[in-house]
Amino acid sequence: MRKPGAPRGPKVKPAPGEEHLVRRAGSADWHIDITIEGHRLRRSSGTADKALAAPLAAREYDTLYRRVVLGEKPVEQITLNDAFVQFYREVAQGTAYGEGAQKHQMNTMLEVLGRHTLLSDIDDRLVNTLVQALRVKAIIPHNAPADAPSRLEQRKFSGATINRYVTTLSAVCTRARKVWRVPVGEWDRGQHRQEESRGREVFLEVDQARAMLEAVIPHARPMYLLALATGLRKANVHDLVWESVSLDLARIVLLTKGDKPHSVPLPEPALAMLQHLEPDPTKRRGRVFVFGNPRVACICAACISPAKRGQPINSTRRAFATAAKVCGLRDMPLGRLRFHDFRHSVASWVLASGGDLRLLQEQLGHADIQTTARYAHLVQGRREAVIGAATAGLLAPPTQEEKKKA
């Protein structure tokens, strides 16, 4: 407490925008409250840090002043949160990638960059902040205290994963600029590209795949059989709906990137399995793989639970790990066995049975033959044998007639 007559200390000048910040009961964040000539603006700043909230309030005051007093038509701005919501509704919703990985990516980026960050403020510095946050594994909310624990699981992000995050952000910014016609900050995606390790390839022998089918919990067995018979991705198997299945034509038709149809033939084992799951065509609606299917002899807790019966099977991660461990396949020389290795295995079987890369491209649904070319080394031996057989006579020893003529 200052003593009477003591000199006053220097008055601290508030930062621009602080005069428009208020506290509200029950909220840790600062709120913006501005009134100009009867026009009032009230909103949350989205942060408990006054130093971060003040510039946002100052910008809101400037925008409102220009609109009310100067009569200027404001440039429409959009926050990162609103951009992600709109992108999800227009592009990602209903797609396997959008509903899964891409949705998670956008939520993570909001934690790092802030929900109220404007697209026009995104630059190389902010994108680098995102990349570095992913590289150090711990994702700390943008408005959390320095000593606060992460609200997200700490895990390692590979270079390929970080590149997918940046690609999603770039897709949102591109759509905002070209379709929504809103200001977007300038940044170079190429500057933030991370080095990607060469993808490992694990191939199962047919007897190893059969052992996995026998060891896995019964309600997951039809899903694994379909993956091993077709080479479908995990998301396509888990999310498969009857409306995409034509048992009469022995085909599954899926939509790939760009909403292009991808027709996958159903070999006899997969076709028989799907017919067994639901013999009645009138009941083939919705998700194919659900808990408690009476035609699948499974007595696990989920399948016998009335609450879970008929619910979609969204994950079989634990079942996969258990089956792989039982079969002695969990720890392979190149790393732990993954569901995606079923797809690699199908590729090897197709090529070993006489198929070529073009046929494999159609089977796996690769848009670019270069993606399929990663399996080219699997046909080297067969190609050499075929060429060798075709040219075997070139160096045959000369006949007696040829010797006489010589």
pLDDT of 388: 57
pLDDT of residue 141: 43
Q: Give pLDDT, residue 260.
A: 78
CATH topology of domain 206-378: hpI Integrase; Chain A (1.10.443)
The yes-or-no verdict on residue 138 having pLDDT over 60 is no
The single residue listed with the structure tokens 């895990």 is 155
d(CA 331, CA 341): 13
Model confidence at 351, pLDDT cuts 50, 70, 90, reads: confident
Q: What is the pLDDT of residue 365?
A: 86
The 10s digit of each residue's pLDDT in 120-129 is 999 999 999 9
- Give residue 373's pLDDT: 84
pLDDT in tens, 205-255: 999 999 999 999 999 999 999 999 999 999 899 999 999 999 999 999 998
Quote the mean pLDDT of the chain.
85
Q: Show Cβ contacts of residue 337 under 8 Å, excluding neighbours closer than 6 positions.
A: 202, 204, 320, 324, 329, 330, 331
CA distance readout (Å), 124 to 4, 166, 184, 187, 245: 53, 11, 12, 5, 45
Q: Is the pLDDT of residue 47 over 90?
A: no
Residue 387 has pLDDT above 90, yes or no: no
Torsion of CA 336, 340, 342, 346, to 10 degrees: -130
Question: Hey, what are 96's tokens?
Answer: 């396997």
Full-model pTM: 0.58
Q: Contact 176/78 with Cβ under 8 angstroms?
A: yes
Is residue 202 within 8 Å of 335, Cβ to Cβ?
yes
| Cα–Cα distance list, 88 to 103, 181, 240 (Å) | 8, 17, 21
What whole-number distance in Å separates Cα of residue 364 and Cα of residue 342?
A: 12
